[in-house]
Amino acid sequence: MRCRRGPDNPIMLQKSLLIVYMLLFALYPARAVYASNEVFVGTWKGEGTIIVTWCAQKQMPFELNIDEHGTVSGTIGDATIQYGTMELNNILYRWLGNREYIIDAELSGYLIEKENIKRDSIRIFLDFEKPFLSGGFHSSGSTFGGKEEMVLSGSSVKLVKVTE
């Protein structure tokens, strides 16, 4: 008796589905697995270097307040953070050398009021390198379009926890 191969074989179908589910699980970003570690809870201040040529300002100030649930508030530049969350980055991306944590936040107001630069949201990529959070950022925006529309990007973000 020969073993059937192909899509009509239920065992092969189950194995294929299992592999697909495992890949989807690995690629799906972890939600709210942020930092159950209390070391992140508190206020972090610092700045990052703006790396786009069309922006006259060269440094972006950060003040992030992180609570025990991974909710982030505070300010970035002149903008106020709304609905910010800190999460563990996808395991596959971390294996590929990307940052360990991601902060996603909506923004209210101008990122840089003096230059009329306003964006709807920002993503900050961070690693915890005791005692600092370090990484980079990208705002919402398009690939082209200059100061009015383009993504505002930065690197060399270095944040230190404020102790009171």
Tokens describing residue 59: 């440094």
- The answer to whether 68 and 85 are in contact (CB under 8 A) is no
Cβ pair 119, 113 in contact under 8 A? no
User: In the prediction, which pLDDT does 42 show?
Assistant: 94
Q: Is the pLDDT of residue 32 over 50?
A: no
- Averaged pLDDT, 119-147: 95
Whose CA is closest to 122, among 62, 68, 162, 56? 62
- CB atoms < 10 A from the CB of 124, how many? 27
* pTM score, whole prediction: 0.78
Task: Say if CB 34 and CB 86 are below 8 A apart.
Answer: yes
Q: Does residue 152 register a pLDDT over 50?
A: yes
**38 band by pLDDT with thresholds 50, 70 and 90:** confident
Rounded to a whole number of angstroms, the CA Rg of the chain reads 20
Q: What is the mean pLDDT of the chain?
A: 87
Task: Please tell me which residue, 144 or 126, carries the higher pLDDT value.
Answer: 126
Q: Taking phi first (over 0 means left), then psi (-120 to 50 degrees means alpha), and beta for anything else, what does residue 116 get?
A: left
pLDDT over 70 at 1, yes or no: no
**Can the peptide bond before residue 131 be classed as cis, meaning omega within 30 degrees of 0?**
yes
pLDDT of residue 146: 86
Question: For residue range 45-73, what is the model confidence (pLDDT) as tens digits?
Answer: 999 999 999 999 999 999 999 999 999 99
pLDDT at position 80 is 98
For residues 29 and 89, the answer to whether their CB atoms sit within 8 Å is: yes
